[in-house]
Amino acid sequence: MAVCTNKTEHLAVDLLKKIGIYDYFEYVAGYNTFDYCKPDPRHITTIIEILDGNKNKSIMIGDSESDANAAKAAEIPMILLEDGYTEKSIDEIYHNHLIKDFVGIEKIVSQYL
């Protein structure tokens, strides 16, 4: 698992450590990690390549239009969290699945593994 955020990389790492979940992720990429960031699909696909992953077995979990646009452009399924950072309605944002919280998300994710 990796984090792909448009926050500064070191601030994202600091936050993940502060809330105690940093060790769950193999890689953290911020907006300043590469020469591009979301919604550019390379922000996601480069992370997948770094982790020697398989794009066809990858999924984006996000809460913003930027996340959704990057996933769509990368041709990766998208799980959209309700009440995210967007002014658009859910129907206007690319997603394959819509969730209110992470309860039961493993059932969705397992469909793609």
Between 56 and 84, residue with greater pLDDT: 56
Taking the whole predicted model, whether its pTM rises above 0.75 is answered as yes
CATH number (3.10.180.10, 3.40.50.300, 3.40.50.1000, 3.30.70.1150) of 2-110 reads 3.40.50.1000
C-alpha 50/C-alpha 40 separation (Å) is 16
Q: What are the sequence ranges of the domains in the chain?
A: 2-110
CA 113 distance to own-chain centroid: 16
C-alpha 70/C-alpha 113 separation (Å) is 20
**Least confident segment among 19-23, 33-37, 81-85, 96-100:** 81-85
* pLDDT for residue 60 is more than 90: yes
**Cα dihedral value 17, 21, 27, 33, nearest 10:** -40
* pLDDT at residue 112 in the model: 86
Structure confidence by residue, pLDDT tens digits, 8-42: 999 999 999 999 999 999 999 999 999 999 999 99
